[in-house]
């Protein structure tokens, strides 16, 4: 299991990522109850639900790799990646490329929205994922009504592909290809 921090220096901030730990789950649970999270991630889960779902990923990160995003060493967001092919639960059932990674993320504090931090977090995490030569492209699936997220992904080098039906409802499939000119960190 990954234990070292992966750091990427941006012009005015220092971003890093570390694997989510069991000790982080109360903090993550509190973040997930915030209005800017529940607006797009759905109703706030109980702490027991967070411990069950995320605890399973911590114990076995082969399906989902959960991370805490750090800004100047302080937790400021959550980000996860997963292999899209075979992800189960009705997700990406037609995907046949084992190199496709999916990502999901959110910033913890609503006061940090609309400052470019989400874009920098996504760019840095995409660079981390593309460091693996087996990763062919990265996808994400925001709600089509979530203009802020869509704009963030576009600035990070993602292209809107098409609307898709997911187990969570309608989504906009967005893809970032290796070497995208918008993502110079690759």
- The pLDDT value given to residue 1: 42
Residues with Cβ within 8 Å of 108's Cβ and at least 6 positions away in sequence, in order, are 31, 34, 75, 76, 77, 78
Token pair listed for 67 = 């991370």
Token pair listed for 172 = 């906009």
- Percent of residues, the chain, with pLDDT higher than 90: 62
- The pLDDT value given to residue 167: 83
157 pLDDT exceeds 70?
A: yes
- Partnered with residue 14 across adjacent β-strands are 9
Mean pLDDT of the chain: 87
pLDDT tens readout for residues 62-85: 889 999 999 999 999 999 999 988
Q: How confident is the model at residue 182 (pLDDT cuts 50, 70, 90)?
A: low
Q: Sheet harboring 64-71: ordered strands across?
A: 6-9, 14-19, 64-71, 74-83, 100-107, 137-140, 169-177, 159-166
160 pLDDT exceeds 80?
A: yes
pLDDT tens readout for residues 18-62: 999 999 999 999 999 999 888 888 889 999 999 999 999 999 998
130 pLDDT exceeds 90?
A: yes
Instruction: Just give the CATH number of 7-177.
Output: 3.40.630.30
Low-confidence winner among 1-5, 59-63, 91-95, 105-109 (lowest mean pLDDT): 1-5
C-alpha torsion angle, residues 145, 177, 103, 21 (rounded to 10)? -150
Q: How far apart are CA 20 and CA 42, in angstroms?
A: 21
118, 150 contact by CB (below 8 A): no
pLDDT tens readout for residues 133-144: 999 999 999 999
Tell me the mean pLDDT in the region 89-101.
81
Q: Report domain extents, the chain.
A: 7-177
- Of the candidates 100, 83, 30, 25, the one whose C-alpha atom is nearest the C-alpha of residue 56 is 25
Whole-number Cα distances in Å, 49 to 46, 54, 72: 5, 8, 30
């Amino acid at each position: 299991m990954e234990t070292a921090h992966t750091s990427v220096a941006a012009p005015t901030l220092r971003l890093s990522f570390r694997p989510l730990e069991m000790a982080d789950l109360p903090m993550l649970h509190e973040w997930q109850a915030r209005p800017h999270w529940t607006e797009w991630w759905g109703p706030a889960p109980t702490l027991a639900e967070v411990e069950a779902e995320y605890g399973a990923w911590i114990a076995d990160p082969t399906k989902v790799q959960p991370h805490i995003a750090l800004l100047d060493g302080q937790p400021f967001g959550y980000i996860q990646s997963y292999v899209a092919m075979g992800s189960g639960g009705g997700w990406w059932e037609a995907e046949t490329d084992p190199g496709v990674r999916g990502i999901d993320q959110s910033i913890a504090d609503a006061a940090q929205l609309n400052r470019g931090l989400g874009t920098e977090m996504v760019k840095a995490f995409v660079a981390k994922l593309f460091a693996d030569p087996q990763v062919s492209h990265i996808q994400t699936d925001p709600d089509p009504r979530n203009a802020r997220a869509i704009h963030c992904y576009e600035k990070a080098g993602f292209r809107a592909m098409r609307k898709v039906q997911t187990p969570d409802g309608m989504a906009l499939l967005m893809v970032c290809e290796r070497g995208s000119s918008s993502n110079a960190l690759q």
